[in-house]
Structure 1
Amino acid sequence: MSDQPLLQAVSVSKIYSGRHGAGVQFADLDVKPHQITAIIGESGSGKSTLLKLLYGLLSPQKGQILYKGEPILGPHDKLIPGHDSMKMVTQHTDDLNLHASVWDNVAHLLPNTDLQAKQQRTTELLKQLKLFHMADKRVVELSGGEKQRVAIAKALVTSPEVLFLDEPFNQVDTSFREGLQRDIRRIVDETGLTVVMVSHDPAEVLSMADELIVLRNGEIVEAGKPEELYTNPVNFYTATLLSNCNVVEGEEAKELGIKTNLSRVVIYPEWISIDKKMLSNKWKVMQILFKGPYEELWLTYNDLNIRVFNLQLGKFPIGKGVSIKVNKYKAF
């Protein structure tokens, strides 16, 4: 049963007039239960529109959104839009009561008919999201990352089956971001929650998602496991979206020992190694960016510039000539 889609878009289109973005065109996708499905694309690619269609905040002009095989009603057919079994959290946390405590923000959606169950559920969520120690703090006193945790706890307190996250980590400091991502991953694994998230950051989707959907100009251009899409992208857009890669055109590929009839070659920086065995040191180190456990080297030869990841810190100073070897590439 877990292989059956929980949520489906069937030939869904929502096109905006004017300059409101690309919208979504003829989108088909399946969201499997108990997994994290991530939608990634450039700004204006239709990511948030697709998320709102799946939740029922927007009505498609064509096609259908199905939840467990039943159509999801949009705002044209439902007074309060949004499916009752789903919740959405955005990057803004606007629905939080800033002057109420963390506890009250999370607990107030639960009924008072069983106060013991209300206290137990609120405590459980605050502990899961590492908020219990600040339960009595007012939300206005919290950092951006802490507010986002409260917003997620509030969304989960009524035990929805699907949680939508729209660019949830944009306002979260890097120091908080990875911890929050790990906690969401753990909650999915422990509870069977289904998460559909939107992001423009490849680092987020590659580390969190079970399934990845790539959106461009409102159309789904590729979908699959994050590792598969990263290592073997079918689409040039996917390759450049998921990695800050080297793009080599036509004749330039020959300078790297690549023979292909295709017009563009994509090479990830980690697919290139500095080869001390080769005699030709024609590539010059022009810039070095320290990245902690590795350095990012910018190399140049004639008019061609490429990026290489170097684990041997400090071994190649600026101006040094090096030889390189392309271990893998993808031609389009």
Structure 2
Amino acid sequence: MANDILSTSCDVKISDKQKQGLAYIQVDNLVKKFSDKPDSLGLEGLSFGIEKGKVTAIIGESGSGKSTLLRLIYGLQSPDTGEIRLNGWKVPGPEDKLIPGHESMRLVSQHFDDLNTYANVWENVASRLSNTNLQEKHDKTAIALNSLGILRLAKQRVVDLSGGEKQRVAIARALVTGPEVLLMDEPFNQVDASFRDHLQQDIRRIVHEMGITVIMVSHDPAEVLAMADALLILKEGKLQASGTPFEIYNIPPNAYSASLLARSNLLNAKEARFLLPDVRVNNTIVIHPEWIRAEHATNGAFIVVDVFFKGFFEEVLLEHTHLQLRVINYAIATYHVGERVDVSILRYVDC
């Protein structure tokens, strides 16, 4: 007789038929509170799915619950209600295991807590493997170090490395055992901007080559827009948006998501009617700076109040009475403080 549900003392796997409707990592009605107070920080009713072999980024302001969600997915904490499943199996919490943390996952913290700073790079990575087969241990360690471009640092002590190099060691240490899921908490927080792109490229390459699933937490949209396949946006423990970076950036479901991904112009109905007199507006209007064109005009409605040089473009701040707009200009030194301009709106999103 076929069993619809298979169970052990602390883990439950659903049937293959039930599994067909689930994502690789499925989160349903997740709630986690840290006190009984109404304003307690935590997570409230989160439901979403994460695809296998993709990079998913969890972003939001400080205190939004990003790191808490990551720890719940890994099994370091248990939800108050709701559940998390990996490939159909319920993720056990710390009350179910002597050593918390899912055996198919590895977590890289932002403070390198897992590293032995006075051991060398090779020892830090190799120590994750058993001594049953020394040749295999040697080969796997070399492959892990080489995949992160740090094989040349094998004999250096971790304490003597830069922040970016330590981050690479931490990731190599996590990958050497061949996990299915790699969790990263603010992975670029201590990496210099000049090395950030290279590390992002290496992680994308590893995802492609190994088929590993990556879930990362970040507060910086610049880190994830080009790197992530999917975004989860949190605010005060609630899910504000989920989808691809392209979808959420170009069609933000709410003003918070828009402002988190870009220095977007958020206009109320009155302000929007001034710019778009022929459009009926009842909600917040989102206009990214690059969706506006400014044109020199002697009697223009807006005045240039500031210009910020950004390298290959400049950000121009315009003002009309109490309405301010940020505009991206790719022709450097075109606008000057005090001159007047008119604007045209190329795109907008009514949230």
* Range into which the TM-score falls when normalised by the shorter chain: over 0.9
Identity %, equivalent residues: 48
**Structure 1 residue 18: deviation in Å?**
6.5
Distance 1:52 1:101, change over 3 A: same
Which residues in structure 2 correspond to 1:34-73 (within 5 Å)?
34-73=53-92
2:31 aligned with 1:13: yes
**Structure 1 residue 261: deviation in Å?**
2.8
**Structure 1 residue 4: deviation in Å?**
5.8
CA RMSD of aligned residues (A): 2.0
Deviation readout 1:79-120 (Å, 9 max, x if unpaired)? 110000100011100221111111111111112222221121
**Amino acid paired to 1:5:** A
**Structure 1 residue 70: deviation in Å?**
1.3
Deviation readout 1:17-38 (Å, 9 max, x if unpaired)? 1689521122112111100111
SS at match of 1:87: strand
Corresponding residue to 1:193 among 212, 232, 249: 212
SS at match of 1:207: coil
Match of 1:273 in 2: 293
Q: Are the aligned partners of 2:272 and 2:281 in contact in 1 as well (CA < 8 Å)?
A: no
Q: Are the aligned partners of 1:12 and 1:28 in contact in 2 as well (CA < 8 Å)?
A: yes
The CA distance in 1 between the partners of 2:270 and 2:25, in whole Å, is: 46
The CA distance in 2 between the partners of 1:207 and 1:22, in whole Å, is: 30
**Structure 1 residue 241: deviation in Å?**
1.5
2:111 aligned with 1:106: no
Deviation readout 1:241-285 (Å, 9 max, x if unpaired)? 211111122322233235333142221101001235x77423221
Match of 1:233 in 2: 252
SS at match of 1:208: coil
The CA distance in 1 between the partners of 2:20 and 2:203, in whole Å, is: 20
Which residues in structure 2 correspond to 1:1-332 (within 5 Å)?
5-17=23-35, 22-258=41-277, 259-275=279-295, 280-332=299-351
**Amino acid paired to 1:275:** E
Normalising by structure 2, we get a TM-score of 0.89
Distance 1:35 1:2, change over 3 A: farther
SS at match of 2:270: helix
Distance 1:141 1:5, change over 3 A: same
Distance 1:60 1:267, change over 3 A: same
The CA distance in 2 between the partners of 1:46 and 1:82, in whole Å, is: 19
Question: Number of residues paired by the alignment?
Answer: 331
The CA distance in 1 between the partners of 2:240 and 2:205, in whole Å, is: 29
Q: Are the aligned partners of 1:110 and 1:158 in contact in 2 as well (CA < 8 Å)?
A: yes
Q: Are the aligned partners of 1:2 and 1:33 in contact in 2 as well (CA < 8 Å)?
A: no
Q: Are the aligned partners of 1:260 and 1:331 in contact in 2 as well (CA < 8 Å)?
A: no
> Please, which runs of 5 or more residues in structure 2 have no aligned partner?
1-18
The CA distance in 2 between the partners of 1:132 and 1:4, in whole Å, is: 39
Q: Are the aligned partners of 1:102 and 1:139 in contact in 2 as well (CA < 8 Å)?
A: yes
Deviation readout 1:38-72 (Å, 9 max, x if unpaired)? 11112111111111111100111111111111111
Normalising by structure 1, we get a TM-score of 0.94
**Structure 1 residue 2: deviation in Å?**
11
SS at match of 1:106: helix
The CA distance in 2 between the partners of 1:266 and 1:326, in whole Å, is: 11
Q: Are the aligned partners of 1:202 and 1:241 in contact in 2 as well (CA < 8 Å)?
A: yes
**Structure 1 residue 3: deviation in Å?**
9.5
Indicate the larger mover: 183-192 or 14-23.
Answer: 14-23
SS at match of 1:323: strand
SS at match of 1:147: helix
SS at match of 1:247: strand
Distance 1:248 1:6, change over 3 A: same
The CA distance in 1 between the partners of 2:78 and 2:317, in whole Å, is: 48
The CA distance in 1 between the partners of 2:258 and 2:92, in whole Å, is: 36
Q: Are the aligned partners of 2:273 and 2:281 in contact in 1 as well (CA < 8 Å)?
A: no
**Amino acid paired to 1:106:** V
SS at match of 2:67: helix
**Amino acid paired to 1:271:** W
The CA distance in 2 between the partners of 1:3 and 1:26, in whole Å, is: 19
